[in-house]
Amino acid sequence: MSRTMTGDVGFVLANERDVPPVGEQSHMKVHCWRLVQMPSGTQHLVTLRNAGIARVTSPIGSIDHQKRTFTTSSGRVYVVVVPPEVAELERRVLKAAAASVLGTADTLDVSDAAWAQMCNDWSSSLGIQ
């Protein structure tokens, strides 16, 4: 468990791997998310669930821009149903979770570029220019 301060708000990051096996939860809809890239180029989806639980995925293995999905190296599929999180507090929580789980704050947020590509590919698949 790690304690983190974000501005005037403190929060606790507890057991970051409290995730059911992929066989029990192969797909997950995501409403609060950011995508971070490690210096090595590896990307991880960072999510915040309704109960205030942050999740940092295993490395992203593939992205389907038209379906707006991220598939992790473990095989779990994350479906993003909204654009990346823009609220400052939630973004700070997601960033702190990523730093805690990944062991570094030296990540690049590539969420907006990924979302733009998803929107572009989705529009193109519908014949919208």
Quick one: pLDDT at residue 12?
Answer: 58
Sequence-ordered strand ranges (E) for the chain: 2-6, 9-13, 27-30, 33-37, 43-48, 54-56, 60-64, 69-72, 77-80, 108-109
- Cα 104 to Cα 96: distance, rounded to the nearest angstrom: 10
Quick one: pLDDT at residue 1?
Answer: 44
pLDDT tens for residues 3-18?
A: 454 455 566 565 455 6
In the structure encoding, which two tokens stand for residue 4, read together? Answer: 């983190």
pLDDT tens for residues 42-71?
A: 999 999 987 778 899 999 999 999 899 999
pLDDT tens for residues 66-125?
A: 899 999 999 999 999 999 999 999 999 999 999 999 999 999 999 999 999 998 865 565
Spatial contact of 121 and 67, defined as CB atoms under 8 Å apart: no
Q: Where are the domains of the chain?
A: 2-15+24-125
* Count of residues in the chain: 129
Residue pointed to by tokens 């639980």: 53
Burial of residue 7, with CB atoms counted within 10 A of its CB: 0-12 exposed, 13-18 middle, 19 or more buried: exposed
